[in-house]
A = this chain, B = another copy of it.
């Protein structure tokens, strides 16, 4: 009876949420329609309505959607009504940048630990946290109840660190490492390899 909702639908919800928030905050709107939302996002109105229909009926015929209400519903669906502790693995330039990334905090993602195995980096202060030795990975992740990690390490150690993260209880990984990660089926991975994204685009550049 429980309908399996396609991941491609889930992946659009944060984008709807982002735009709805912007419509409310930047444009001061209280309501919107699937047509308006779609126009702002390059998505058809039918798609938006179909996507939302997986979770309930949030709009009203003739009127559209009350933005605050829909935002609240989406945040509940996506489990964003709580805060999430996040670990960053790798304290290179990119690890630093992501640790400082303000939007994470605004959206309830608290980076509460950062790790590296370079003795020169261990102990370094970053805002309010300190770079920890990779040896303490399991201990800290367990203690801080960290379920999400951002992986910013070289490809050759990414799989082995992923295995350790999963064993320590991490359930979702955002990976910037240029390699496919083998994980158990209940573990989520999102990939973000900038080179791969650039290489897709060069195809279209004559």
**Contact residues of A with B, CB < 8 Å?**
7, 10-11, 13-15, 17-19, 22, 26, 40-42, 77-80, 84, 86, 92-94, 96-98, 100-101, 103-104, 107, 109, 147-148, 150, 155-156, 171-172, 174, 178-180, 182, 188, 190, 192-206
Contacts and interface: CB of A to CB of B under 8 A. Distances in A.
Nearest to A79: B202
A201 B180 contact: no
Nearest to A19: B180
Nearest to A40: B180
A201 B178 contact: no
Contacts of A203: 10, 13, 77-79
What 10 pairs across the A-B complex have the smallest Cβ distances? Answer: A14-B199, A93-B97, A172-B201, A97-B97, A190-B197, A188-B201, A14-B196, A94-B97, A79-B202, A93-B100
Contact of A107 (B77, B84, B199): B199
